[in-house]
């Protein structure tokens, strides 16, 4: 797998001042200059994808588009995720975004409210585009502002040797089975625990990936009509379940300050039997621990649940600048990336899953776990309700703080959810 752990951790080293200056110069505005001859249109496309893909593969996909559309030129602006985020946030505030932009779902709400990114629903209608082929769309008030191009999922990872040692016959598929397996793994002795839960408030994505994933797996929601709904039976059941795992002493120690990379390290070293994690870490784990036998599965659901299981995901999203003079050409490029053939190619080289429902990556040269994960993905439904919310990281952090009070016995579940509801309502409401 050609993907490094950096993709979904989104942690990339500092960028030099010179590279930042170059990025700013390239992103000088959404009104890209046309070529002097022939009236050709030049679209600037700023993203972090090219920096994370094998050299040359992304360029070929872009070149295939320009060959078929000789009047449209694509100027790639590729930079690491961290610097792309910084510069696009600046560009959105000043209405100087490049014509086409790679988007993280966490940015969409703010960019849309600033009027920095275009309503793509209208562009799809104008182009007679069949949006039913899209696996998902990120919308605000019924308007599409981001289309997920490639999705990266977070299934359950299970250490097969620890499961066997603990006398657990099969990978758990329900909450009861998971708790039972976690207890038996923890009882094997040493420093081994059943599960890892990263809750460091400095990087609070554990709430998204490791807590709310239990809610989504059972078809639950933390929102109602776009507003916070944290005092429902479904959310309460989720928090009480996490508390039950904590009370049973099956969670790896240090969870209150644990980060995602710590969780992966503990699983890799055989100190944790199960974790919810990015599929992107499969190759990293196998590289660091070639003899580790593990498998992946759908996240366990409530015992009585029979519907489709939600599976957490992160995306390479795409949007169009609201200030570009070339919205029609920009959407033509977007529709090319979302076509079944091109989307399958892009997902294959990214070791991710397609944003077009009719496309399927080529797994012939991939680890068998990717095909297994794709089957889980197709049988379930992508779930990440933080995408599109304002100040999503702050929402995760405030929930994290309340959950920590519950796990340390300083608050009841009801009180914690009431305070989290109040905090979220001040942001979303």
pLDDT in tens, 365-391: 888 898 888 889 889 988 999 988 888
Q: Which is more confidently placed, 380 or 177?
A: 177
Contact status, residue 372 vs residue 151, Cβ threshold 8 Å: no
What confidence category does residue 53 fall into, taking pLDDT thresholds of 50, 70 and 90?
confident
Nearest residue to 171 via CA among 274, 276, 289: 274
Contact 148, 383 (CB under 8 A): no
**pLDDT 10s digits, 189-204:** 889 999 999 999 988 9
Examine domains 6-151+315-374 and 156-311+390-428 and report if their fold is the same: yes
Tell me, what's the pLDDT at 39?
A: 64
Rounded average pLDDT over 219-226: 95
Q: Which CATH class is domain 6-151+315-374?
A: alpha beta
Indicate the domain borders of the chain: 6-151+315-374, 156-311+390-428
Which tokens in the block code for residue 88? 């696009």
How many angstroms separate the CA atoms of 345 and 58, rounded?
A: 10
Domain 156-311+390-428: CATH architecture, name and number where available = 3-Layer(aba) Sandwich (3.40)
**374 against 336, higher pLDDT:** 336
Mean pLDDT for the chain overall: 89
Average pLDDT over residues 144-154: 93
Cβ atoms < 10 Å from Cβ of 342:
19
Which of 333, 358, 361 is CA-nearest to residue 345?
A: 361
Angle at the Cα of 413 (from 408 to 419), degrees rounded to 5?
A: 100
**pTM, whole model, 2 decimals?**
0.75
Residue 299 is given by DSSP the state P
């Amino acid at each position: 797998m050609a993907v490094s752990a950096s993709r979904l951790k989104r942690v990339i080293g500092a960028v030099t001042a010179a590279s930042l200056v170059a990025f700013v110069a390239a992103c000088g505005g959404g009104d890209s200059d046309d070529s002097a001859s022939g009236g050709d249109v030049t679209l600037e496309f700023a993203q972090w994808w090219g920096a994370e893909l094998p050299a040359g593969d992304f360029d070929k996909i872009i070149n295939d588009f320009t060959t078929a559309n000789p009047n449209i030129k694509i100027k790639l602006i590729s930079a690491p995720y961290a610097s792309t985020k910084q510069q696009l946030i600046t560009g959105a505030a000043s209405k100087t975004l490049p014509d086409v932009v790679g988007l993280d779902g966490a940015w969409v709400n703010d960019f849309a409210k600033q009027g920095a990114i275009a309503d793509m629903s209208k562009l799809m209608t104008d182009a007679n585009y069949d949006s039913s082929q899209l696996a998902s769309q990120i919308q605000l008030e019924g308007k599409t502002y981001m289309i997920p191009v490639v999705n990266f999922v977070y299934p359950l990872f299970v250490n097969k040797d620890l499961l066997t040692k603990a006398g657990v016959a099969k990978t758990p598929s329900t909450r009861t089975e998971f708790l039972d397996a976690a207890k038996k793994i923890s009882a094997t002795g040493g420093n081994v625990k059943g599960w890892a839960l990263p809750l460091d408030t400095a990087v609070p994505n554990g709430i998204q990936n490791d807590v709310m994933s239990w809610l989504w797996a059972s078809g639950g929601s933390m929102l109602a009509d776009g507003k916070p709904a944290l005092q429902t039976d479904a959310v309460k059941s989720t928090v009480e379940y996490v508390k039950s795992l904590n009370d049973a002493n099956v969670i790896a120690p240090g969870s209150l300050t644990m980060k995602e990379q710590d969780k992966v390290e503990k699983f890799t070293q055989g100190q944790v039997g199960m974790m919810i994690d990015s599929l992107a870490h499969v190759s990293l784990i196998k590289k660091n621990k070639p003899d580790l036998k593990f498998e992946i599965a759908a996240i366990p659901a409530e015992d009585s649940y029979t519907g489709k299981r939600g599976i957490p995901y992160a995306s390479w999203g795409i949007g169009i600048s609201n200030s570009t003079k070339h919205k029609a050409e920009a959407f033509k490029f977007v529709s090319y990336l979302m076509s079944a053939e091109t989307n399958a190619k892009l997902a294959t080289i990214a070791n991710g899953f397609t944003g077009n429902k009719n496309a399927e990556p080529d797994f012939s040269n991939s680890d068998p776990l990717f095909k297994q994960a794709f089957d889980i993905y197709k049988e379930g439904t992508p779930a990440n309700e933080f995408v599109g919310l304002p100040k999503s990281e702050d929402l995760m952090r405030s929930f994290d703080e309340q959950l920590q009070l519950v796990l340390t016995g300083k608050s009841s579940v009801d009180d914690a959810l009431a305070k989290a509801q109040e905090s979220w309502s001040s942001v979303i409401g």
